[in-house]
Amino acid sequence: MMRQNATTAPMMLNSWKEIAAYLGRGVRTVQRWERDLGLPVHRIGKGRRSPVYATVTDLNFWISTTEAVRAPKPQPHLVQRTQGNNTKPIDDSRRLLSDARRLAQTIAETSVRQHRQAEILQERIMQMRSRMK
């Protein structure tokens, strides 16, 4: 792991092995999380086998906003409310809460991705400005 200046960039994890060790999981598990759950891992280059890195900040935020790392909780089977379907108000509340949780998770993940992209663009702008001087 490489520690960078705290004011310019967060701690970086520079391989699947480092990312997996940080999360306390196996390499294949974190690769599956990237593929299926949107683990915020960045690739250097193109293709599935290109080198990867992740920031500790992004990973911590992802952990706090996803249920992947927590023990799975059994979810009751909820029936969508339709015309003529007499579902209980508690079932509607559970369904709405579940939908709201998924929406909040999607918004949080998108926010992290956009924040990282903004950081990358800012770095590129600074590099371009320094070359112009």
- Residue 2 covered by a domain: no
Tens-digit pLDDT profile for residues 63-81? 888 766 665 555 555 545 5
- Residue 105 covered by a domain: yes
Amino acid residing at 5: N
Give the model's pLDDT for residue 18: 92
- Residue 6 covered by a domain: no
Give the model's pLDDT for residue 70: 60
- Residue 3 covered by a domain: no
Give the total number of structural domains in the chain. Answer: 1
- Residue 113 covered by a domain: yes
Tens-digit pLDDT profile for residues 78-121? 545 555 556 788 888 888 888 888 888 888 888 888 888 888 88
Give the model's pLDDT for residue 20: 93
Range of the domain at 120: 12-132
- Residue 36 covered by a domain: yes
Long-range contacts of residues 43-46, Cβ cutoff 8 Å, at least 24 apart:
none
Give the model's pLDDT for residue 118: 87
Residue 77 CB partners (closer than 8 Å, separation 6+):
none
Task: Determine the Cα–Cα distance for residues 83 and 90; give it in Å rounded to an integer.
Answer: 17
Share of the chain above pLDDT 70, in %: 77
Give the model's pLDDT for residue 77: 52
pTM: 0.46
Nearest Cα residue to 67 out of 46, 94, 112, 98: 98
- Residue 84 covered by a domain: yes
56-65 and 16-23 helices, crossing angle to 10°? 50
Check pLDDT > 80 for residue 122: yes
Query: Where on the phi/psi map is residue 43: left (φ > 0), alpha (ψ -120 to 50), or beta?
Result: beta
Q: Which residues pair with 42 in a beta bridge?
A: 53
